[in-house]
Amino acid sequence: MAGAAAAWAWAAADRWAAAFGWLACVAFLVAGWREWSWRRAVRAVAQGLRDPRALEREGASGRELAAAVESVLREVREDLQRARARGSHLRELVEALPWGLVELDHRRRAVWVNRPAAALLGVQREQAADTSAVALFRRHEVDELLDRAERAGEAVRDLELGGVLQVVARRLASGGFLLLVQDVTQDRRAEAVRRDFVANVSHELRTPLASVRAMAEALRDGALEDPQLAARFLAQMLQEVDRMSRLVNDLLDLSALEAGVVRLRWEDLEAEELLEAVARRYAAAAERKGVALVVQPGKARVRGDRDRLEQALGNLVDNAVKYTPSGGQVVLKVELRDGEVSLVAEDTGPGIPPEHLPRVFERFYRADPSRSRAEGGTGLGLAITKHIALAHGGRVEAANRPTGGARLAVVLPAAGGGTRER
């Protein structure tokens, strides 16, 4: 427009107006060029954030602008690199944690799941995104946990999901939640074992203590005046004290074996000699019960602690004699096969109910509690046998004989020089 006005003024012989028009035209052209240059420079700056060489291609003005923003670009790039490295490091740390982590948004849908959490929940990480918490855990109790966390800021709950998972939910400032997931199956089992252990020990001690107290009160209230009754009460009190002493000693033995603090005196031993030594120790008890105690000959050698192995085998024989009726038989024998020596005690008793076989070596476990208690057992003998076998690198076995009766065995690695049983 300025150029057209200047041309008209020139044609009209108005030199001043024409000059003014041309000056305006030049001013507009300069302003337009500068605006175009700044637009181009802004585009170059935007591109320069990705490629610094782009500014240098813009000529002198570009180089000036490049020099002006070069330090800023360098700082931005360094900050971005540090942020990326920090983020990568944090992701690596989170993935290396032994606990599962799950982030939920305000809708209670999964935003992110780390590898341990995916493994614990049995899901694929790619499929977990945007999955609801209830669907992710497959337990509706998760909603109750999140409700409590929303009110209190944090909440904890155990969930049954194959095993036992402890889930800690914490509310985030964004309105979402962070869930910490741990497998506490073994911990819960250990707690149950400890509770059962305390309950069993309390029960085993309460019975003889109550008996001793009752007889002591009877003696105080006049039974001492009857010599025969007093003698009988005192004998029973001594029996109960002996029973409690056996229980305490067995508990100490079992605790030491489970803790692995028992020192074994290793030596090469003839398996048959071990069985004969145990048979001699229990011969009187078997005779009183009317049970024949037989040792079958067999040659094999084992390496271990003589006293501890005799203790383990003695518990097998004691158990067999107790459960074999009068006129029955307990047979001790050696079996050697595949580099292992089995020290076996077989009886002709009623056998062990099949459902009890997997548990007979548990502490305080009795297939017939009333009968074992009447026989004076502590319920720890077979558990001690199991741990003595484990300390020797062996194991224990329990089964029923096809012809009737139980078969319990301590299985140990054979020492050098063993031969097949004859």
> Is residue 210 assigned to a domain?
yes
Range of the domain at 153: 98-183
Domain end (from 92, 111, 133): 92
Is the same domain home to 178 and 192? no
Residue 106: which CATH number?
3.30.450.20
Is the same domain home to 175 and 224? no
Q: Would you place residue 54 in the very low, low, confident or very high pLDDT band (cuts 50, 70, 90)?
A: low
Q: What domain count does the chain have?
A: 4
- Using the predicted structure, report yes or no on whether residue 370 has a pLDDT greater than 50: no
Over residues 228-251, the pLDDT tens digits come to 888 888 888 888 888 888 778 878
Higher pLDDT, 365 or 235: 235
Q: Would you place residue 25 in the very low, low, confident or very high pLDDT band (cuts 50, 70, 90)?
A: low
Is the same domain home to 171 and 221? no
| Mean predicted lDDT score pLDDT of the chain | 81
Is the same domain home to 292 and 226? no
- Using the predicted structure, report yes or no on whether residue 419 has a pLDDT greater than 80: no
Is the same domain home to 231 and 272? no
Is the same domain home to 276 and 399? yes
Is the same domain home to 316 and 336? yes
Of 130, 169, 164, 166, the C-alpha closest to 148 is 169
- Surface-to-core class of residue 322, CB atoms within 10 Å of its CB (0-12 exposed, 13-18 middle, 19+ buried): buried
Domain end (from 183, 204, 219): 183
Is the same domain home to 408 and 271? yes
Over residues 125-176, the pLDDT tens digits come to 878 888 899 999 988 999 999 999 999 999 999 998 888 999 999 999 989 9
Contact 119, 161 (CB under 8 A): no
- Using the predicted structure, report yes or no on whether residue 307 has a pLDDT greater than 90: yes
Is the same domain home to 86 and 130? no
> Is residue 69 assigned to a domain?
yes
Domain end (from 212, 235, 259): 259
Average pLDDT over residues 110-127: 87
> What integer pLDDT is reported at residue 295 of this predicted model?
94
Is the same domain home to 283 and 405? yes
Residue 204: which CATH number?
1.10.287.130
Is the same domain home to 153 and 194? no
Higher pLDDT, 273 or 227: 273
> What integer pLDDT is reported at residue 50 of this predicted model?
54
Is the same domain home to 395 and 280? yes
Contact 264, 305 (CB under 8 A): yes
Residue 377: which CATH number?
3.30.565.10
> How is 105-172 classified by DSSP, letter by letter?
-TTSBEEEE-HHHHHHHT--HHHHTT-BHHHHHT-THHHHHHHHHHHHSEEEEEEEESEEEEEEEEE-
Q: Residue 247: helix, strand or coil by DSSP? A: helix
Q: Would you place residue 371 in the very low, low, confident or very high pLDDT band (cuts 50, 70, 90)?
A: very low
Q: Would you place residue 5 in the very low, low, confident or very high pLDDT band (cuts 50, 70, 90)?
A: very low
Q: What amino acid positions are annotated as catalytic residues? A: 203
